[in-house]
Amino acid sequence: MSSDRIREKLQILSAAAKYDVSCASSGVNRKNTSKGLGDAHACGICHSFTEDGRCIALLKLLYTNNCIYDCAFCISRRSNDIPRAAFTVDEIVDLTVNFYRRNYIEGLFLSSGIFRNADYTMERLTLIVKKLRLEHRFNGYIHLKTIPGASEDLIMEAGLYADRMSINLELPTEAALKQLAPEKSHETVKRELGLVHNKLVLYKDERKIIKSTPRFVPAGQSTQMVIGATKETDKDIMYTASAYYKGFSLKRVYYSGYIPVNDDSRMPAIGSQPPLLRENRLYQTDWLIRLYGFEVQEILNDANPHLDTDMDPKLSWALRNLHMFPVDVNTAAYEMILRVPGIGILSAKKIIQARRYGRLHVQQLQKIGISYNRAKFFITCADSPYALKDPDAVYIKKNIMDNSKSKYLKVPQNQLSLF
Amino acid sequence: MINYLYDGTFSGLLSAIFDSYDRRDKAVSVYPEFLYSPDLFLDEYTVITDEQKALRVWKGLQHKLSDRWQLNMYMASFTENREEIQHLFDCIHYIFDSKQNISYNYGNEHVISVAQTARKVHKERHRIVEFLRFQHTVDGMFFAKIDPLYNVLPLVRNHFKNRYADQQWIIYDTKRRYGVYYDLHEVKEVTFNFDESLIDKKRNKLTENMVSQEEELYNNLWKDYYKSINIAERKNSKLQKQFLPQRFWKNLIEMNA
Ligand code: SF4
Domain ranges of chain A: 3-299, 313-403
A140 CA to middle of ligand 1, Å? 27
User: Do B137 and B222 fall within a single domain?
Assistant: yes
* Mean pLDDT value across residues A103-113: 95
- DSSP code for B253: G
User: Do B169 and B208 fall within a single domain?
Assistant: yes
User: Do B112 and B14 fall within a single domain?
Assistant: yes
The response to whether residue A114 sits with its C-beta less than 6 Å from ligand 1 reads yes
Q: How many domains, chain B?
A: 2
Domain boundary, last residue among B94, B109, B125: B125
Question: What CA–CA distance (Å, rounded) separates A233 from A227?
Answer: 10
Q: What percent of chain B has pLDDT over 70?
A: 98
What own/partner pairs with CB < 8 Å and gap ≥ 24 does A360-365 have?
A: A360/A329, A360/A330, A360/B107, A361/B107, A364/B106, A364/B107, A365/A329
User: Do B147 and B83 fall within a single domain?
Assistant: no
Q: List, in sequence order, every beta strand (DSSP E) within A242-312.
A: 252-257
SS3 at position B236: coil
Q: How many angstroms separate the CA of residue A100 from the nearest CA in chain B? A: 9
Contact B164, B148 (CB under 8 A): no
| For residue B34, pLDDT beyond 90 | no
User: Do B198 and B245 fall within a single domain?
Assistant: yes
Residues of A in contact with B134 (CB under 8 A): 101-103
- What is residue B13's predicted lDDT score, i.e. its pLDDT? 95
Q: Give the nearest chain B residue to A347 (CA atoms).
A: B106
Question: What CA–CA distance (Å, rounded) separates A304 from A306?
Answer: 6
User: Do B153 and B110 fall within a single domain?
Assistant: no
- Architecture (CATH level 2) of domain A3-299: Alpha-Beta Barrel (3.20)
Helix, strand and coil percent figures for chain B, each rounded to 5: 50, 15, 35
Q: For residue A247, which phi and psi values (nearest 5 degrees)?
A: -70, -35
Cβ contact B165–A35 (<8 Å): yes
User: Do B48 and B112 fall within a single domain?
Assistant: yes
- What is residue A42's predicted lDDT score, i.e. its pLDDT? 74
Q: Does ipTM surpass 0.95 in this model?
A: no
Question: What CA–CA distance (Å, rounded) separates A134 from A161?
Answer: 9
- What is residue A413's predicted lDDT score, i.e. its pLDDT? 42
Cβ contact B105–A49 (<8 Å): no
- What is residue A23's predicted lDDT score, i.e. its pLDDT? 73
Domain boundary, last residue among B69, B98, B125: B125
Question: What CA–CA distance (Å, rounded) separates B99 from B77?
Answer: 24
Average model confidence (pLDDT) for chain A?
A: 89
- List CB contacts of B223: < 8 A, sequence separation 6 or more: B253, B254, B257
Domain boundary, last residue among B95, B125, B155: B125
| For residue A27, pLDDT beyond 80 | no
- What is residue B206's predicted lDDT score, i.e. its pLDDT? 84
* Mean pLDDT value across residues B188-198: 82
Using CB atoms, which residue from B131, B136, B225 is nearest to A14? Answer: B225
| H-assigned helices in A249-344 | 276-291, 296-299, 313-320, 334-337
* Mean pLDDT value across residues B186-195: 86
Q: Which atom of ligand 1 is nearest to the CA of A62?
A: 3
Q: For residue B111, which phi and psi values (nearest 5 degrees)?
A: -60, -50
Domain range for residue B83?
Answer: 2-125
The model carries a pTM of 0.88
User: Do B118 and B195 fall within a single domain?
Assistant: no
Q: Give the nearest chain A residue to B128 (CA atoms).
A: A47
Question: What CA–CA distance (Å, rounded) separates B254 from B74?
Answer: 34
Residues of B in contact with A104 (CB under 8 A): 133, 222
Contact A103, B222 (CB under 8 A): no
Q: Which atom of ligand 1 is nearest to the CA of A77?
A: 5
Q: List, in sequence order, every beta strand (DSSP E) within A140-295.
A: 141-145, 164-166, 221-227, 252-257
Cβ contact A51–B224 (<8 Å): no
| For residue B103, pLDDT beyond 80 | no
User: Do B6 and B121 fall within a single domain?
Assistant: yes
User: Do B143 and B228 fall within a single domain?
Assistant: yes
* Mean pLDDT value across residues B154-173: 94
- What is residue A337's predicted lDDT score, i.e. its pLDDT? 96
- What is residue A389's predicted lDDT score, i.e. its pLDDT? 60
User: Do B157 and B219 fall within a single domain?
Assistant: yes
Question: What CA–CA distance (Å, rounded) separates B238 from A51?
Answer: 9
User: Do B118 and B136 fall within a single domain?
Assistant: no
Range from A21-25, B8-12, B189-193 carrying the lowest mean pLDDT: A21-25
**B positions 168-227 inside 8 Å of A (CB):** 214, 217-218, 220-222, 224-227
| For residue A419, pLDDT beyond 70 | no
